[in-house]
């Protein structure tokens, strides 16, 4: 593997990105990368401030005032999604990302790469480090915890930025300028359970659904990929038609905004039913593989012997929970055919088993606030009917497109001049911080651009090398023209 990504062009961008890959920065654990940003600002002789929530703002004075230019805010987030393959031993709290060149792409070994949004941070730092870009005053705002709750954007205060144009660097297609995004809301479910003694003459089996493609629960939600949690729940309901079983554990997914690619369950079954159950699961796995052959070609359904579970969940409770998991909506609810993206969706992101409860973490998205609320209520109702407690949290607004944006006009003209083609003007079903930022700074003129990133939020994440150079060229030209 060629790990010398810092030698790629433009080196000023790739060098900063390489440094970022060496710093553990999963959501909620941004201390080390924040220290790095502060140290980098000081090494460049720039002023830097840290907000109470942990955002970092680095400021650079104008390099050229001979022409009228607007004050610009470059914006990215410092955290990354921590997702890895089931067999990876990577520790996101201590280990660097093992990034390497793979043909036309840079990717990582069995983990997320963190180009979302490390590439945006790297480009922002590269602008600040460059001495040959003509610009008015520039601020680089790097927020915390975008991936796990947009905490940094929620916690913005009035003096963090003062620019006139917001260039968000968190888009993932170098051929597109993004002018809108979906809002979101978390719907978290807690279902109280009781454990009872396991029956005599039973054996514990572990069922594992693995190898699913996973992906971003906004950008990838229309691709028809299997949700490991939903498919495991469906399997268990089907299994109950073959033989009774008791559920001891169900666990899958890592984050609310990632399509879960792994789920496991431990069940106790009668000794005389083991062979028939194993045969059923094997055959079910073959059928599931055919169903998702295109979207999840590496899907595997495994059944293994497991240490005996002396306690199991009370059968009526586990049955109700599985029915709710199967019946609750998951996926794209409505698609905007004009923009070619989901308009409203829901993702069942995490299921976990605890000594006194089962928990489910979900995320609903929509560009329309009323539809977002409706989708959250649909999810909540499925679980309230079985006696679960439901909490809605961290609702954030969408970013309404402004086709009359002066910055949009400049980016369209600049892209045409640089690349002799038209840039695509679109919106994303992913969540960008622009909606929250503009809610607090309504006079900002905002657009979002970025290098091409495929499969964000998954261990398959990769960034296109050529697109980094292209996006950098566009960014520099925009800064000089705005």
> Residues 63-86: what's their mean pLDDT?
94
pLDDT at position 336:
83
Tens-digit pLDDT profile for residues 375-389: 999 999 999 999 999
Of 30, 139, 145, 146, the catalytic one is: 146
Structural domains for the chain: 5-182+398-481 (3.40.630.10), 185-396 (3.30.70.360)
Tens-digit pLDDT profile for residues 130-184: 999 999 999 999 999 999 889 999 999 989 999 999 999 999 999 999 999 999 9
pLDDT at position 386:
98
Tens-digit pLDDT profile for residues 18-59: 999 999 999 999 999 999 999 999 999 999 999 999 999 999
Of 30, 79, 174, 461, the catalytic one is: 79
Please determine, for residue 432, whether its predicted confidence score (pLDDT) is greater than 90.
no
Q: For a pLDDT cut of 90, what percent of the chain falls above it?
A: 91
79 included as an active-site residue: yes
146 included as an active-site residue: yes
Determine the Cα–Cα distance for residues 300 and 286; give it in Å rounded to an integer: 8
pLDDT at position 431:
82
Residues 6+ apart with CB under 8 A from 75: 120, 124, 140, 141, 142, 143, 166, 167, 168, 169, 170, 433, 434, 437
pLDDT band, very low/low/confident/very high, at 367 (cuts 50, 70, 90):
confident
């Amino acid at each position: 593997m060629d790990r010398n990504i810092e030698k790629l062009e433009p080196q000023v961008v790739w060098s900063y990105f390489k440094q970022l890959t060496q710093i553990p920065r999963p959501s909620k654990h941004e201390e080390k990368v924040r220290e790095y940003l502060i140290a980098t600002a000081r090494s460049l002789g720039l002023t830097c401030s840290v907000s109470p929530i942990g955002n970092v703002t680095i400021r650079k004075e104008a390099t050229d005032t001979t022409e009228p230019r607007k004050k610009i805010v470059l914006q990215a987030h410092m955290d990354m999604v921590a997702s890895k393959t089931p067999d990876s031993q990577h520790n996101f709290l201590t280990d660097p990302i093992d990034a390497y060149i793979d043909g036309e792409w840079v990717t990582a070994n069995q983990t997320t790469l963190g180009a979302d949004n490390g590439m945006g941070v790297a480009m922002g730092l590269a602008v600040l480090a460059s001495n040959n870009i003509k610009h008015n005053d520039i601020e680089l705002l790097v927020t915390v915890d975008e991936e796990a709750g947009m905490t940094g954007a929620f916690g913005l205060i009035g003096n963090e930025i003062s620019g006139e144009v917001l260039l968000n660097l968190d888009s993932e297609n170098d051929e597109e300028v993004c002018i809108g995004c979906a809002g979101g809301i978390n719907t978290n479910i807690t279902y109280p359970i009781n454990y009872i003694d396991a029956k005599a003459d039973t054996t514990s089996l572990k069922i594992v659904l693995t190898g699913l493609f996973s992906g971003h629960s906004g950008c990838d939600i229309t691709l028809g990929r299997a949700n490991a949690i939903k498919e495991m729940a469906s399997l268990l309901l089907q299994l109950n038609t073959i033989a009774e079983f008791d559920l001891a554990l169900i666990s899958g997914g890592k984050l609310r905004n990632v399509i879960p690619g792994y789920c496991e369950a431990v069940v106790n079954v009668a000794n005389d039913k083991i062979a028939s159950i194993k045969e059923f699961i094997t055959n079910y796995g073959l059928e599931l593989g055919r169903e998702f052959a295109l979207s999840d070609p590496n899907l595997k359904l495994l059944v293994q012997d497991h240490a005996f579970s002396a306690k199991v969940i009370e059968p009526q409770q586990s049955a109700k929970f599985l029915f709710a998991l199967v019946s609750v909506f998951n996926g794209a609810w409505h698609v905007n055919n004009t923009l070619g993206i989901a308009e409203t969706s829901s993702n069942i992101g995490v299921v976990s088993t605890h000594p006194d409860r089962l928990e489910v973490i979900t995320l609903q998205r929509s560009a329309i606030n009323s539809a977002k609320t409706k989708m959250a209520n649909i999810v909540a109702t499925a679980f309230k009917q079985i006696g679960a407690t439901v909490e809605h949290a961290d609702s954030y607004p969408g970013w309404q497109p402004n086709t009359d944006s002066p910055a949009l006009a400049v980016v369209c003209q600049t892209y045409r001049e640089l690349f002799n083609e038209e840039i695509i003007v679109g919106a994303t079903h992913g969540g960008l911080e622009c909606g929250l930022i503009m809610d607090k700074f309504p006079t900002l003129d905002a657009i979002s651009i970025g290098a091409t990133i495929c499969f964000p939020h998954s261990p398959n994440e990769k960034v296109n090398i050529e697109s980094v150079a292209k996006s950098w060229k566009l960014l520099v030209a925009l800064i000089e023209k705005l």
